[in-house]
Amino acid sequence: MKCPFCTSLESKVIDSRLAKEDTSIRRRRECLSCKSRFTTYERVEEMELLVIKKGGVREPFDRSKIIAGMIKACEKRPISMEVIENFVSDLERVIQERGDREVESSEIGERVINKLYEIDEVAYVRFASVYRSFKDVNQFLNELTDLLKEKGEQIKLGRKTDSTIHALTLIKDKTKK
Ligand SMILES: [Zn+2]
């Protein structure tokens, strides 16, 4: 903290107390060079994160909304609440750490989709089909096929592929009704 009298950077705190309303700490400092005294205030940076929706409308970042959407997609799937909550906390931190105060809703949606793809194909299919609101199931299947091709190297014919096929069967059954 630069001394306002001599611009020295060295000072010591001689007194520290909560300021009015308890939202900041008032510190009395003494410059080590010129011995002048000055006051600093320290407060939590109020950083509200806004979500930019389609059409440019902004609304506050609402973690409970994202969690609710994920819980719905993960219904009856072996995914703990902890996994969902940790993911949303990480998501919020990643956005804040890059210094942005706004984030496109589409970025949040894509990050959720990628996460679900990683952890559970059924949840992924449910979320992606609602979120991307595909015109028909074929469009969705095409995209999913491309994605599987991309990931094909890693997936091979393991458990993951099986559950994806299962998820596709579910969504086909759903559209028949
Ligand atoms: Zn000074």
113 with 92, same domain: the answer is yes
- Residue 2 C-alpha to ligand 1 middle, in angstroms? 8
The DSSP letter of residue 9 is: S
- Residue 8 C-alpha to ligand 1 middle, in angstroms? 5
- Residue 130 C-alpha to ligand 1 middle, in angstroms? 62
Domain count, the chain: 2
148 with 63, same domain: the answer is yes
pLDDT at 100 over 70: yes
- Residue 6 in domain: no
- Residue 39 in domain: yes
pLDDT at 102 over 60: yes
Task: Show the domain range for 151.
Answer: 50-176
* Residue whose entry in the numeric block shows the structure tokens 């299962």: 166
pLDDT of res. 28: 94
- Residue 1 in domain: no
37 with 56, same domain: the answer is no
Closest CA to 164 of 173, 177, 155: 155
Q: Is residue 1 helix, strand or coil? A: coil
- Residue 27 in domain: yes
Quick check: 1 and 39 in contact, CB under 8 A? no
pLDDT at 157 over 70: no
Q: Is the pTM of this model over 0.85?
A: no
pLDDT at 46 over 90: no
- Residue 97 C-alpha to ligand 1 middle, in angstroms? 34
Mean pLDDT score, 12-33: 86
pLDDT at 17 over 50: yes
Mean pLDDT score, 24-52: 87
64 with 80, same domain: the answer is yes
81 with 37, same domain: the answer is no
- Residue 3 in domain: no
> Can you tell me the distance from the alpha carbon of 112 to that of 124, in angstroms, rounded to the nearest whole number?
9
75 with 146, same domain: the answer is yes
Return residues with CB closer than 5 A to ligand 1 (ion): 3, 5-6, 8, 31, 33-34, 36
176 versus 142: the higher-pLDDT residue is 142
33 versus 160: the higher-pLDDT residue is 33
60 versus 154: the higher-pLDDT residue is 60
pLDDT of res. 98: 84
Tell me the pLDDT band of 83, cut-offs 50, 70 and 90: very high
33 with 55, same domain: the answer is no
Kindly report the average pLDDT of the chain as a whole number.
Answer: 80
22 with 97, same domain: the answer is no
Mean pLDDT score, 137-145: 68
71 with 152, same domain: the answer is yes
pLDDT of res. 43: 75
- Residue 12 C-alpha to ligand 1 middle, in angstroms? 11
- Residue 16 C-alpha to ligand 1 middle, in angstroms? 19
114 with 166, same domain: the answer is yes
